[in-house]
Amino acid sequence: MFTDIRNKFISNRQGSVLAISLAVVFFIAVLGSIFIAKVISDKSSSDIERVSTQAFYLAEAASQSGLEQIDTLINTDMMTVVNGTNPQVLANDAKGYVNDQDGLGFLWQYVRQGGTNLLTINPGHTLVRYDGSSTNFVNGSYVFNILFTEKSNPSAIGTDQWDFPYYYRIEATGVAGGMISRKVVVTGDFTVRVQRDNFAKFALFTDHHAMPSGTPVWFTNKTNFSGPIHTNDQYRFALNPSGTFDGAVTQQNTKAMFYNNNNPKQEDADSNPPYDVPTFNAGYTRGAAEIVLASAVQKQDMIDQVRAGDNTPGYGIFVANDGEKLLGGIYVSGSATINMGVDANHNATYTITRGTTTKVITADIANNQTSVHTVGGGTQVFNGLPDGVGNVGTIIYVNGAINSLEGTVQKDTEVTVSSENDIVITDHLKYEEYDEAVGTPGTPGYIPPNADDQKNMLGIVCWGGNVRVGTGASDDVEIHASVMARNGIFTVDNYESGSPRGTATLLGGAITQFYGAFGTFNGQTGLPASGYGRNFVYDGRMLLGKAPPYYPSMRTFIAFTNDIADKIAWQEGGF
C-alpha cells in the first residue's frame, strides 16, 4: 500500500513538473515570438527610415540638378540661339516682347536646341515649364520640373540692352526602394540680360595675327591664355607644348600654321604631333565667321555720348552742362595728358592738361556731384557725374593724342578713356581695389591678380593710332584695363633696345588690328634681352557680360544670367 501511495505521489509530481515545463516552454516561446516580432518590426522601421532618407537625398539631388538645368537653359541653350540669330531680328524680337510686356514669350521662343523649343508655355503666357526626365540612381530615381513666371515686366535699360526678370520654382521628387518618395521645392529668381556682344570679352583679338611689318607671331610653350581669343587670320603654333588655352580659341582661316621642326606647314588640324602640340581646354574652331572690328559709327556714338550736343569750338577741356547739371562726359579738343586718381575724400579725380590749361575734375559719386577746378582759376560744381548721355559710366574722349595716361581707377568707378590718336601709358594704371598677385609670373605657385568681385573697371580705346607703353614707365609695369587699338597695335616703345624691364602685367584684354611686340629674348638662352616680358591676365568679369562703359560692341547679341543661385528658398514637400 505504501508503495502504491509513493508511486502515485511520484506520478503526480512528474505530471506537475511536466505541466510546469510545458508552461515555461510556452512562455519562452511567447517571449521569443514577441522578441522576434519586435526585431522584425524594428528592422522594418529601420529599413523604412533608411529608404525614406535615401528618397530625401535623391529629392535634394533632383533640386540641385534643377538649378544646374536652369543655368544650362539660359547660359548655354538661350545664349547659343540668341548669338546665332540675325542681329536685326533679335533686336526687333526683344523690343517687341518688351513692348508687349511678355517676358515669358521671349523665354519660350529663345530657349531652343536645333530649332526645337525646350520649354512649354500656357495659352495665356503666364507660365512656362520645363519637364525633366527621370534619372536612375543606385536603388532609386529622381525627377524635377521647373516652373517659370514673370517677376516683373521686361525693360529696356540702354541701347540694344534689355532685362527679362523671372521667378523659378523647382519641384523635385526622389523615390527609393521602389515605394517611398520624398519631395523638395526650391524657389528663387534671376534676370536674363540681353545685349550686344562686346569686344571686352576677349583676352586677345587680332584682325591680323602678325606684326605690322608682316613678321609672323608664333604661340609657344610660353603662351597661356585663360580667356577667349579670336583672329580674323590664322594662328601659328611652335614646339611641344605650344601653349595652353583655357578659353575658346577661334579663327577665320580654315587652317592653322605649324612650325614643324623649322619646316612650316598649314593643316586643318588642332596639332602637329610630335612637333607642335597646343592644349585647348575649351575648343579650337577654324573657319569661324569674321568678327568686324568697331566702326566709325561706334566712334561717333562715343563722341555723341561725351559731347551731348555741346559744340563749343576751339581747343580745350569741356564738360557738357546746362549750367546746373552735367549732360555728357569729359571732352578734350587737342592732345592732352590724363592722370587718374583718388582724393582724400575717396572721390575719383581726373587731372587733365591740354596745352597750358590744367583742370582737375572730381566725381563725387556718393553725392552725385562733379566739380571742375581750373588750376590758377575758379571751380564750378555741377549735379550729376560725367557718365555720358546714357548714364552708363564715366567716359573721356580726347580728339587728339593722349601723351600720358597713368594713375588709379577709383573703387566705385567704371570708366572708358578714348582718343583719336596714340595713347601712351607712362606708368602704372591700377584699380584701387583688386587682389594683388602672389609670387613671380612664370614660376610655380604664381597666383595672378584679379578684380573678380570689384566694381572698378577701365577701358582704353584708341581709334586711329597705337596704345604704347612709354619709355618712362616703371619696370614690372601693371596695367588694369581692356585695351583696344582699332587701327593699330598694343606695344612697348623702344622694345628692342636697352636692358630688360621686367614683366608687363595686363589685367584685362587686348583687341588690336595687328599683334604688337613687348620685348626681345636671347634665342640661345631664352632669357629676356630688352623690353618687357608679357604677362597677360584675363579679367574674368568680362566673360560674365561685363564691359567698360560705352566700350565698342559687336554685331551679334548675347543672353546670360549670373544670379540663379544668389537667393533661393528651400522647403520639403509643397506640391
Interacting residues of 459 by C-beta distance below 8 A, sequence separation 6+: 200, 415, 416, 417, 418, 481, 482, 484, 547, 548, 549, 550, 551
Q: What is the pLDDT of residue 150?
A: 97
50: Cβ contacts below 8 Å, ≥ 6 apart: none
Q: 3-class DSSP state for residue 361?
A: strand
Taking the C-alpha atoms of residue 148 and residue 418, their distance in angstroms, rounded to an integer, is 42
21 falls in which pLDDT band (50, 70, 90)? low
Distance in angstroms (rounded) separating the CA atoms of residues 23 and 430: 95
pLDDT at 41: 46
Radius of gyration from C-alpha coordinates of the chain: 35
Q: How does residue 403 score in pLDDT terms, banded at 50, 70 and 90?
A: very high
Predicted confidence (pLDDT) at residue 12 exceeds the cutoff of 90: no
SS3 437: coil
Query: What local confidence, expressed as pLDDT, does residue 42 receive?
Result: 47
* C-alpha to C-alpha distance for 133 and 143, rounded to whole angstroms: 6
Take residue 341 and report the three cell numbers written for it.
586718381
Q: Whole-angstrom Cα distance, residue 75 to residue 315?
A: 47
Residue with cell 616703371: 474
Q: Which three cell numbers stand for residue 347?
A: 572721390
> What pLDDT, on the 0 to 100 scale, is given for residue 14?
55
**What single DSSP character describes residue 290?**
P
Q: Which of 176-180, 364-368, 405-409 has the lowest mean pLDDT?
A: 176-180
C-alpha to C-alpha distance for 280 and 243, rounded to whole angstroms: 9
Q: Are strands 402-409 and 336-342 parallel, antiparallel or unpaired?
A: parallel
Mean pLDDT across 384-399: 95
Residue 366: all three cell numbers together: 556718393
Q: How far is CA 411 from the centre of its chain?
A: 19
Q: Would the pLDDT of 306 be above 90? A: yes
pLDDT of 43 reads 47
Regarding beta strands 244-245 and 467-469, do their DSSP bridges make them parallel or antiparallel, or are they unpaired?
Answer: unpaired
Q: How far apart are the first and last CA of the chain?
A: 89
pLDDT at 442: 77
What pLDDT does 39 receive?
46
Phi–psi pair at 523, nearest 5 degrees: -65, -25
Q: Which three cell numbers stand for residue 562?
A: 549670373
pLDDT tens figures, 214-250:
999 999 888 888 899 999 999 999 999 888 999 999 9
pLDDT band at residue 11 using 50, 70 and 90 as cut-offs: low
What digits encode the pLDDT tens for the residues 72-105?
999 999 999 998 898 889 999 999 999 999 999 9
pLDDT of 46: 59
Q: In terms of C-beta density within 10 A (0-12 exposed, 13-18 middle, 19 or more buried), how is residue 238 classed?
A: buried
The 10s digit of each residue's pLDDT in 172-199 is: 999 998 778 899 999 999 999 999 999 9
The CB density around residue 124, as the number of other CB atoms within 10 Å, is: 7
Per-residue pLDDT reduced to its tens digit, 480-498: 999 999 999 999 999 999 9
Q: What is d(CA 162, CA 442) in angstroms, rounded to the nearest whole number?
A: 42
Query: What pLDDT shows up at residue 571?
Result: 82
Q: Is the pLDDT of residue 205 over 60?
A: yes
Q: Residue 143 has which C-alpha cell?
A: 525627377
The domains of the chain are located at: 54-195+563-572, 208-292, 302-317+331-336+387-551
Stretch 63-75: mean pLDDT: 95
pLDDT at 166 over 70: yes
* Res 158: pLDDT: 80
Question: Quick one: average pLDDT of 320-345?
Answer: 97
Alpha carbons 284 and 267: distance in angstroms, whole number: 13
* Amino acid of residue 541: R
* Sign of the C-alpha dihedral computed for residues 379, 384, 389 and 391 taken in this order: positive
Task: Tell me the three state secondary structure of residue 439.
Answer: coil
